[in-house]
Chain A
Amino acid sequence: MIEFKLPELGENIEQGDLVRLMVAPGATVNTGQSVMELETDKAVVEVPSSVSGTVQEIRVKEGDKIKVGQVIFTVDGAEAKAPAATAAAAAPAPAATPSEQKSVPTPARKETASEQKAQPTAPSEPATSGGGEFKLPELGENISQGDLVRLMVSAGTKVSEGQPVMELETDKAVVEVPSSVTGMVKDVKVKEGEKIKVGQVIFTLEGAAAAVAPARPRNAPVEHVSGQHGARLAFQAAIRAEGKTEEQALPPDQPQQVPAQFSMPAQLGKVAGTEHRQAIPAAPHVRRLARELGVDIYEVKGSGPGGRISEENVKAYAKSLLSAATSAAATPRAGHFAQPQLPDFGKWGDIERVSMRGVRRKTAEHLAEAWNTIPHVTQHDRADITELEQLRARFAPKAEEAGGKMTVTAIALKVCAAALKVFPQFNASIDIEKEEIVYKQYISIGVAADTDRGLLVPVIRDVDKKNIVELAVELSQLSKKAREKKLASGDMEGGTFTITNLGGIGGVGFTPIVNYPEVAILGLSRSRIEPEWINGKFEPRLILPLSLSYDHRLIDGADAARFLRWIAEAFEQPFLLSVQG
């Protein structure tokens, strides 16, 4: 009896949902035949069988979650494992060679009757693993060898078919190689660090009678693509450093390395660095035109018979790209608040049209930009500022003396500056183009000011270096400047964080928009007396609602919660602040 287990499906795919089972007990399956559809979190894949025979027992049902290695069904064994089993009994087969395997007819392949007559003795599949040993199976087109990175078995290890036994680094990727045999490892013939060729014996099995499963079908996915190209290049560099060419470093020609002659179709996809894309229905001069116009011909829809792409199709596509680009350039707000055609509002009553130039338009652009760029999340919290109120009262005269007003906003500036020191990622920006995070070593906080010109955000510099009274004074001055339209544009630049306080108006909470390219903004709403359950009874406490919006690209939700909690607690322990001044 042979078991068919879920083979490796690819990098990081450990399981999948069985969408459709294509075999039933009694069905005949062949190696390579699709037996089920599995939905992984990447895609729905058709899984080919690696065994042939008559299905005995099915161990899964549709809807099941199936893990790699799990038994799917069993097939009746004895006569099922045809070619490999015969080979197993024979004397050690001549070394399987890469080219040999490459051109091996896949089991699924139909052979004409006459052809079989011509070659009556040719087995449909030579033994890739014969005589109770496991040889390095073919790893993919043009991969004839790899460096053994990790060996996962040693003498005495029990292995079963499909179980990963080693990691091999080819020049394409690090590949986990599953065993195609089942039994107890007797002798391991390779060492880590060695270069191993396709067909080379990796280990032998205890007892010649060990079950040899049919060779894995070519299409069973085993490759863990994980861009190890760098390592490969390093390898080449190392060889060079030794003053050798790769040719010299690698063993000389051997029959095993003889390339398949003239196996052009197999190679065609890889000709001169072309990655394999299916032939596109466009004449050569049309493809050339597309390249010249900078059009990816694969994006163009052909209007001709069979989807044939004409010169006109390419030109029209290029034009559409161009006009899309120019219209985007002509109206910089396209995509931000470019909107569908407006209805005729006049139909329903009188209207008045007012220019949106100036602050309003700037605000609109800026906020649309922020909204389009930043995936926003808003975190809400509450701070008990009963004690803080007392502190505020205490500092108020001092501030007044200095010409300022001790407001919650002024205190919030101090609190936030302290918080930003603890949580520097809130004092940062994202440089997407360079794929870098810009951490700012200064803390300058903008404060949204509601003026009759609209929303303005003057920035207070180096907040962390100023005490509460200084902050209160500066804030009052800037607010005044804002209202008197005396803010210079420099006064509104260089912020690293923003505070917006709508408490003066009311509300229990809101979701501010991050002041791009900053990554977070703190909103304050109206504080009010609320009953708080303290020491077994309700007490009237002054509660300040806090709303923190942040750029989720940079900041995780938990960090935002911690940051806001930190701020809330700072508000609740004003002595801490008072000590800091």
Chain B
Amino acid sequence: MSDNQSLNIAVIGGGPGGYAAAFLAADLGMSVTLIDPELNPGGVCLYRGCIPSKALLHVAKLLEESHQAKDWGIEFAAPKIDLARLRSWKENVVKKLTGGLGVLSKQRKVKYVQGRAAFENSTTLRVTKTDGSEESLAFDRIVIATGSRPAVVPALKLDTPRMMDSSGGLNLEDIPGTLLVVGGGYIGLELGSVYAALGTRVTVVEMLPGLLPGADRDLVLPLHKRLEKMFDSILLNTTVASVKDEGNGIRGKLKAQDGSEQEKVFDRVLVSVGRKPNAEIPGLEKTGVKAGERGFIQVNKQLQTDDPSIYAIGDVVGEPMLAHKASHEGRVAVEAIAGHKVAFEPNAIPAVVFTDPEVAWCGLTETQAQRENREIKVAKFPWAASGRAITLDRPEGMTKLILDPQTERVLGVGIVGAGAGEMIAEGVLAIEMAALASDVSLTIHPHPTLSETVMEAAEVFFGTSTHIYRPKRG
């Protein structure tokens, strides 16, 4: 639309949602102000989320493989860990990427304001800049992309650096001898893996009966088995009843569902029990924006809030709290502002847990199908039958397709195994394109790669997988 030229929009928050929105708005010719307290755009994802954690997980994987190499006839001496160097490498990764975003926003002539925004009304923001100055700015449209923060459990609040949330964990101040990870979700398992690889003895406590709540159990199982070897212990159905600072450590009282209790002292505790939306922006009550379930800002399919001039995207509007969902929403919101008839209506959003093995899934899960009483067919290909997996010595993986029994359409894909996160994209594309099992099985996949397991899972559905013998059904 040509009159975008005259549109003046503000984006509050420079995370993957916010900067994607700001950049697209600039590309569409709007005049854009992006407000965030950090020096450059990036948000949680780049500064203290996806990126630093993945950098560290890369190192963790290398360490693990160096141990495993013994089985292959290569033995390394015990690694010497230069923590300061590791930290600065990680920080350089973050700097490189956030600096790059800074350049991109300059090139696009996005006005980047380092500071915090508060609402004066539906179209006016009061920005308190990092240098202390304040400014009121008026806009035609405002996009809220303030993200989320770690949830805090009052019972687990101690004023000591030994008590960490995910940001503290990523700071990597030392390699503690023992670490208690509270919460067996993806953040806890990812960071727990990093510390375990660096030599920390890790205990994970999860109050539910399984790790990674929400994921299909058969995908979690291989990970669980491997983590059992890596970690000191994984305590399910267990909560941390209390913590006490004992100076040289934190005493945690762990309470199992059967009532049994144990106490243990840990050098550090990582609390990763979920995230809360940053919906409490000062002055928001002066607008028509409304919060709904669990404090998420309420939006429609165009990401428009109850206040017509205000949009909201990313973690602050709801699950799944993932960077790629935030960016996609950011783009949809801006296109909606530009007057396009768009909607946030994906058929699949991938989720990846970057542990080793990785767990990834998209679209319909078996768990969800069961809950909805939906009839499905599941075709699984175990990686033990994959040449590539054997060459990598990682046969524990599994690829499965969730299919519609009538149309044979791919409704969901789940993968566990090394590199699952890279592979899941094919599943997302298959679902978005409404591919049938035969489309997948008839697409030539390169050999020898793990991606063949997707094709062969589709062949399993027809009972004709090359590398699996199945006696005839019926």
Please report A residues at the B interface, Cβ cutoff 8 Å.
Answer: 90-91, 93-94, 97, 99-100, 102-106, 108-109, 111-112, 114-115, 118-119, 121-123, 126, 142-144, 171, 218-219, 233, 236, 240, 243, 245-247, 252-255, 257-268, 270-274, 279-284, 287-288, 291-292, 294, 302, 304-309
Contact of A123 among B183, B209, B210 (CB under 8 A): B209
Chain B residues within an 8 Å CB radius of A309: 434
Is A93's CB under 8 angstroms from B340's CB?
A: no
Is B255's CB under 8 angstroms from A272's CB?
A: no
Query: How many angstroms from the CA of A421 to the CA of B341 in the assembled complex?
Result: 52
Is B290's CB under 8 angstroms from A119's CB?
A: no
A-B contacts, 16 of them at CB < 8 A, read: A90-B259, A93-B257, A106-B371, A112-B218, A112-B221, A144-B294, A255-B273, A261-B212, A262-B186, A262-B353, A265-B214, A271-B325, A272-B344, A273-B318, A280-B347, A288-B342
Min C-beta distance of B362 to chain A, whole Å: 9
- The reply to whether the CB of B334 lies closer than 8 angstroms to some CB of chain A is no
Contact of A233 among B183, B290, B341 (CB under 8 A): B290
Contact of B187 among A114, A261, A279, A294 (CB under 8 A): A261
Query: How many angstroms from the CA of A254 to the CA of B155 in the assembled complex?
Result: 8
Residue of B nearest to A282 (CB): B434
Residue with the greatest number of chain B CB neighbours at <10 A, chosen from A115, A171, A306: A306
Chain B residues within an 8 Å CB radius of A259: 151, 274-276, 294, 319
Is A283's CB under 8 angstroms from B433's CB?
A: yes
Is A97's CB under 8 angstroms from B214's CB?
A: no
> Other CB < 8 Å A-B pairs besides A262-B351, A265-B367, 15 of them?
A103-B214, A109-B367, A142-B294, A143-B293, A254-B154, A255-B155, A261-B272, A265-B365, A268-B319, A279-B348, A280-B347, A282-B434, A291-B341, A292-B341, A306-B407
Residue with the greatest number of chain A CB neighbours at <10 A, chosen from B155, B291, B371, B408: B371
Chain A residues within an 8 Å CB radius of B225: 118
Q: Given A91-B259, A122-B237, are A261 and B340 also a contact pair (CB < 8 Å)?
A: no
Contact of A291 among B284, B342, B348, B353 (CB under 8 A): B342
Residue of B nearest to A309 (CB): B434
Min C-beta distance of B165 to chain A, whole Å: 12
Contact of B344 among A114, A233, A274, A294 (CB under 8 A): A274
Chain-A contact segment, one of B73-81, B298-306, B457-465 = B298-306
Chain B residues within an 8 Å CB radius of A126: 209, 237, 257
Is B208's CB under 8 angstroms from A103's CB?
A: yes
Query: How many angstroms from the CA of A363 to the CA of B462 in the assembled complex?
Result: 66
Is A265's CB under 8 angstroms from B329's CB?
A: no
Contact of B154 among A90, A253, A284 (CB under 8 A): A253
Number of chain B residues whose Cβ lies closer than 8 Å to a Cβ of chain A: 92
Min C-beta distance of B192 to chain A, whole Å: 13
Is B319's CB under 8 angstroms from A263's CB?
A: yes
Query: How many angstroms from the CA of A99 to the CA of B214 in the assembled complex?
Result: 10
Residue of B nearest to A48 (CB): B373
- The reply to whether the CB of B54 lies closer than 8 angstroms to some CB of chain A is no
> For window 2-59 of chain B, which residues contact chain A by CB distance below 8 Å?
none
Chain B residues within an 8 Å CB radius of A271: 318-320, 325, 344, 346, 349
Is B303's CB under 8 angstroms from A306's CB?
A: no
Min C-beta distance of A389 to chain B, whole Å: 69
Chain A residues within an 8 Å CB radius of B409: 281, 306-308
Min C-beta distance of A161 to chain B, whole Å: 23
- The reply to whether the CB of B207 lies closer than 8 angstroms to some CB of chain A is yes
Is B258's CB under 8 angstroms from A281's CB?
A: no
Chain A residues within an 8 Å CB radius of B303: 272-273
Is A294's CB under 8 angstroms from B207's CB?
A: no
Is A262's CB under 8 angstroms from B320's CB?
A: yes
Query: How many angstroms from the CA of A280 to the CA of B368 in the assembled complex?
Result: 17
Contact of A121 among B237, B272, B370 (CB under 8 A): B237
Chain B residues within an 8 Å CB radius of A253: 151-154, 276
Q: Given A93-B257, A144-B294, A273-B298, are A258 and B218 also a contact pair (CB < 8 Å)?
A: no
Query: How many angstroms from the CA of A94 to the CA of B343 in the assembled complex?
Result: 42
- The reply to whether the CB of B232 lies closer than 8 angstroms to some CB of chain A is no
Is A245's CB under 8 angstroms from B185's CB?
A: no
Chain B residues within an 8 Å CB radius of A94: 207, 239, 255, 257
Contact of B295 among A122, A247, A265, A304 (CB under 8 A): A247
Is A306's CB under 8 angstroms from B154's CB?
A: no
Residue with the greatest number of chain B CB neighbours at <10 A, chosen from A93, A112, A233, A263: A263
Chain B residues within an 8 Å CB radius of A218: 371
Is B373's CB under 8 angstroms from A266's CB?
A: no
Q: Given A94-B239, A270-B319, A271-B320, are A118 and B274 also a contact pair (CB < 8 Å)?
A: no
Chain B residues within an 8 Å CB radius of A307: 407, 409
Query: How many angstroms from the CA of A304 to the CA of B221 in the assembled complex?
Result: 37
Contact of B364 among A142, A247, A265 (CB under 8 A): A265
* In the complex, the 6 A-B pairs of residues with the closest C-beta atoms, listed nearest first: A261-B185, A263-B214, A267-B319, A281-B434, A306-B407, A122-B209
- The reply to whether the CB of B138 lies closer than 8 angstroms to some CB of chain A is no
B299-324 CB contact bits vs A (8 Å, 1 = yes)? 11101000000000100011110100
Is B276's CB under 8 angstroms from A264's CB?
A: no
Min C-beta distance of B381 to chain A, whole Å: 16
Is B342's CB under 8 angstroms from A272's CB?
A: no
Chain A residues within an 8 Å CB radius of B257: 93-94, 123, 126
Residue of A nearest to B212 (CB): A262
Query: How many angstroms from the CA of A288 to the CA of B368 in the assembled complex?
Result: 26
- The reply to whether the CB of B436 lies closer than 8 angstroms to some CB of chain A is yes
Min C-beta distance of B285 to chain A, whole Å: 5
Is B291's CB under 8 angstroms from A99's CB?
A: no
Chain A residues within an 8 Å CB radius of B188: 261
Is B301's CB under 8 angstroms from A261's CB?
A: no
Is B353's CB under 8 angstroms from A274's CB?
A: no
Is A261's CB under 8 angstroms from B434's CB?
A: no
Q: Given A94-B239, A265-B368, A291-B343, are A306 and B153 also a contact pair (CB < 8 Å)?
A: no
Query: How many angstroms from the CA of A261 to the CA of B276 in the assembled complex?
Result: 11
Query: How many angstroms from the CA of A305 to the CA of B347 in the assembled complex?
Result: 18
Min C-beta distance of B287 to chain A, whole Å: 11
Chain B residues within an 8 Å CB radius of A115: 217-218, 221
- The reply to whether the CB of B269 lies closer than 8 angstroms to some CB of chain A is no
Min C-beta distance of A314 to chain B, whole Å: 13
Residue of B nearest to A263 (CB): B214
Min C-beta distance of B151 to chain A, whole Å: 6
Is A260's CB under 8 angstroms from B213's CB?
A: yes
Residue with the greatest number of chain B CB neighbours at <10 A, chosen from A104, A267, A309: A267
Is B258's CB under 8 angstroms from A255's CB?
A: no
- The reply to whether the CB of B194 lies closer than 8 angstroms to some CB of chain A is no
Is B208's CB under 8 angstroms from A171's CB?
A: no
Is A264's CB under 8 angstroms from B434's CB?
A: no
Min C-beta distance of A49 to chain B, whole Å: 14
Query: How many angstroms from the CA of A281 to the CA of B403 in the assembled complex?
Result: 13
- The reply to whether the CB of B432 lies closer than 8 angstroms to some CB of chain A is yes
> For window 115-155 of chain B, which residues contact chain A by CB distance below 8 Å?
151-155
Chain B residues within an 8 Å CB radius of A123: 209, 257
- The reply to whether the CB of B404 lies closer than 8 angstroms to some CB of chain A is yes
Is A294's CB under 8 angstroms from B434's CB?
A: no
Residue of B nearest to A219 (CB): B373
Residue of B nearest to A87 (CB): B257
Is B221's CB under 8 angstroms from A114's CB?
A: yes
Min C-beta distance of A256 to chain B, whole Å: 10
Is B318's CB under 8 angstroms from A306's CB?
A: no
Residue of B nearest to A266 (CB): B214
Is A99's CB under 8 angstroms from B236's CB?
A: no
- The reply to whether the CB of B202 lies closer than 8 angstroms to some CB of chain A is no
Residue with the greatest number of chain A CB neighbours at <10 A, chosen from B187, B285, B299, B439: B285
Query: How many angstroms from the CA of A246 to the CA of B280 in the assembled complex?
Result: 9
Chain B residues within an 8 Å CB radius of A106: 370-371
Query: How many angstroms from the CA of A169 to the CA of B184 in the assembled complex?
Result: 32
Q: Given A255-B239, A267-B319, A306-B407, are A245 and B368 also a contact pair (CB < 8 Å)?
A: no
Q: Given A259-B151, A262-B353, are A246 and B208 also a contact pair (CB < 8 Å)?
A: no
B58-93 CB contact bits vs A (8 Å, 1 = yes)? 000000000000000000000000000000000000
Chain A residues within an 8 Å CB radius of B217: 105, 111-112, 115
